[in-house]
Amino acid sequence: MLENIRTVNDLRVILAEEITKIRAGTTTAANVNAITNATGKILSTVKMELEYNKLLGKTPFIPFIEGGKGKLKKIKE
């Protein structure tokens, strides 16, 4: 499992893993639903940031989209 979610590509990997797990029967629909719900909220904040910068006439640098930097602590399962 991916330890850090630093970019949108990391998020895609996690979503693909969850699809694999639900097909294999190793996770619950509730778990997948929670992950997809959180994903939607994360992407909504990115969209909001993009729209805000558009209104200001700026081009934002969003590490989540651009590749991310640094490391988060390991996620415990």
Report the predicted TM-score, pTM, of the whole model to 2 decimal places.
0.70
The whole-angstrom separation of Cα 37 and Cα 22 is 16
Tens digits of residue pLDDT in 55-76: 999 988 887 777 755 444 444 4
The domain ranges of the chain are 8-66
The radius of gyration of the chain's CA atoms, rounded to the nearest angstrom, is 15
The whole-angstrom separation of Cα 19 and Cα 41 is 19
Tens digits of residue pLDDT in 27-47: 999 999 999 999 999 999 989
The one-letter code for the residue type at 53 is N
